[in-house]
Amino acid sequence: MSERPGGAATDQAAVDPPAPVDALRGPGADALPPAPHLLVTGGAGFIGSCFVRQILARGDGTRITVLDKLTYAGDRANLAPVEADPTQAARFRFVRGDIADPTVVDPLVGDVDAVVNFAAESHVDRSILGPEAFLRTGVIGVHVLLEACRREAERAAAGTRPGPRRRLRRAPRFLQVSTDEVYGSVPVGHSHEDDRLDPRSPYAAAKAAGELLVRSYVVTYGLDAVITRGSNTYGPYQHPEKLIPLFITNALDGQPLPLYGDGLQRRDWLHVTDHAGAIEHVLHHGASGETYNIPGAAERANRDVVAALLARLGKPWSLVRRVEDRPGHDRRYAMDGSKLAGLGWRNRVSFEEGLAATVDWFRANEQWWRSIRTGDWDSYYERQYGARLAHGLPAADIASGPGPNEGR
């Protein structure tokens, strides 16, 4: 990508010639300037808010603007630790808006060094109930963000993109947060970044479409962009629609736990602080145009995850109900992480300690999850689980013992 320093970017810059813009360097080097300004879209959700909290708590001068539509899944309370701390709040701004709205997006992208896109409809079951919102945010929304970045790259190339301290800003780097679900179900082995995409739910298809758009902008317009594919993520502040928080909160209330099918589907669990840390690592050190898997290195059958969280809670297996399976349910996800390891990233949180801490967090933060399990929650829950639970069976037969996928 070309950048031509030396143009008159602002009145001030016209008086005093701007300092040259550093050329982007390869992996290993830092692709962002020191103390960057980031636009974090979807930053009031589960993983995005962790990313924001982690970076601002470090106090390294990074500034963050969050753009979030505050759908049912977004919650400003997830950013309360940032907003309550004056030194962090001084480097933080929240804007409520839709990534599919260029009138909101364009001015925000004009002022940043990078865009990190977490915004998405993120729940597979909801994508089966109603796919349209997934496409609007995952395709149109990503396109609006990419167009804004393309315009800013053109301004940077023309030397008309002002930054702080009379320096010209580089073109913005774009990071698309994607998922292992774009590979589809993986019966054996591990997915590599150049494997074929085979999404099998509307959610995964929308995420794959977003990735393809990003790649097209790299190839066609030379956009500086990277993609991450994270595995199943868990931890504090996760919306209680997802497996681990749903089952913890149901168990705390003594309600049944709706386990789909035989409970032997396998997921690779990644703690949210590791997911957010890996995304930041790729943002700084990933090579433009590349995609990086972020595995968790904790492949478990759903049944075993449920047994572990019940043990931590001291609740009985008899709460588990075996219910009608999710249509098109992917049996297994598993990714190879050597490309990310080659960039120097290592996860820090083991599944056992991460799950125990997550259970404890939900137990200690009842007010947070109760405020989410109100209003629209009841109608969603009835639609998703009403008939399933009415016809559900005790799950004693799948409580333990090796299943067909066990023994890896």
In the complex, the residues that contact ligand NAD under the rule CB under 6 A are 41-42, 44-48, 67-71, 73-74, 98-100, 118-122, 137, 141, 177, 179, 207, 230, 232-233, 239
Give one DSSP letter per residue of 204-256, joined into a string. HHHHHHHHHHHHHHHHHH---EEEEEE--EE-TT--TTSHHHHHHHHHHTT--
Which of 183, 203, 237, 385 is catalytic? The answer is 203
Q: Is 211 a catalytic residue?
A: no
Q: How far is CA 254 from the centre of its chain?
A: 30
Per-residue contact track with ligand TYD, 218 to 247, x per CB under 6 A? --------------x---------xx--x-
Report the partner that residue 62 touches, choosing among ligand NAD, ligand TYD, none (CB closer than 5 to 8 A by kind): none
Residue 103: both structure tokens together: 């009138």
Report the partner that residue 259 touches, choosing among ligand NAD, ligand TYD, none (CB closer than 5 to 8 A by kind): ligand TYD
Residue 313: both structure tokens together: 């809670």
Rounded to an integer, what distance in angstroms lies between the CA atom of residue 378 and that of residue 390?
A: 16
Q: Considering only 55-63, 71-79, 256-264, 372-380, which stretch makes contact with ligand TYD by CB under 6 A?
A: 256-264
Q: Which of 18, 43, 258, 286 binds ligand TYD (CB under 6 A)?
A: 258
Residue 18: both structure tokens together: 């701007």
Residue 192: both structure tokens together: 């590599």
Minimum distance from residue 340 beta carbon to ligand NAD (Å): 14
Report the partner that residue 267 touches, choosing among ligand TYD, ligand NAD, none (CB closer than 5 to 8 A by kind): ligand TYD
Per the CB < 8 A criterion, the answer to whether 123 and 203 are in contact is yes
CA angle 48, 53, 57 (to 5 degrees): 155
Per the CB < 8 A criterion, the answer to whether 262 and 398 are in contact is yes
CB of 12 or CB of 318, closer to ligand TYD: 318
Amino acid in position 178 = S
Which of 75, 152, 181, 224 is catalytic? The answer is 181
Looking at the DSSP assignment, which residues form a beta bridge with residue 178? 229
Dihedral (Cα; 29, 32, 34, 36), 10-degree rounding: -160
CB of 94 or CB of 385, closer to ligand TYD: 385
Per-residue contact track with ligand TYD, 115 to 154, x per CB under 6 A? ---------x------------------------------
- For residue 103, the surrounding DSSP H or E stretch is helix 102-109
Per the CB < 8 A criterion, the answer to whether 173 and 226 are in contact is yes
Rounded to an integer, what distance in angstroms lies between the CA atom of residue 301 and that of residue 14?
A: 62
Q: Is 234 a catalytic residue?
A: no
Binding flag, residue 155, ligand TYD (CB under 6 A): no
Q: Which of 117, 273, 302, 347 binds ligand TYD (CB under 6 A)?
A: 302
Q: Are strands 257-260 and 320-323 parallel, antiparallel or unpaired?
A: parallel
CA separation (Å) from 53 to 66, 175, 271?
11, 18, 15
CB of 8 or CB of 357, closer to ligand TYD: 357
Binding flag, residue 202, ligand TYD (CB under 6 A): no
CB of 73 or CB of 225, closer to ligand NAD: 73
Binding flag, residue 267, ligand TYD (CB under 6 A): yes
Q: Which of 260, 361, 368, 377 binds ligand TYD (CB under 6 A)?
A: 260
Looking at the DSSP assignment, which residues form a beta bridge with residue 227? 176, 291
Q: Is 181 a catalytic residue?
A: yes
CB of 82 or CB of 119, closer to ligand NAD: 119
CB of 18 or CB of 236, closer to ligand NAD: 236
Closest listed residue to residue 77, CA positions, set 230, 234, 235, 236:
236
Which sequence positions are flagged as catalytic?
A: 180-181, 203
Q: Which positions touch ligand TYD (CB under 6 A)?
A: 124, 232, 242-243, 246, 258-260, 265, 267, 302, 326
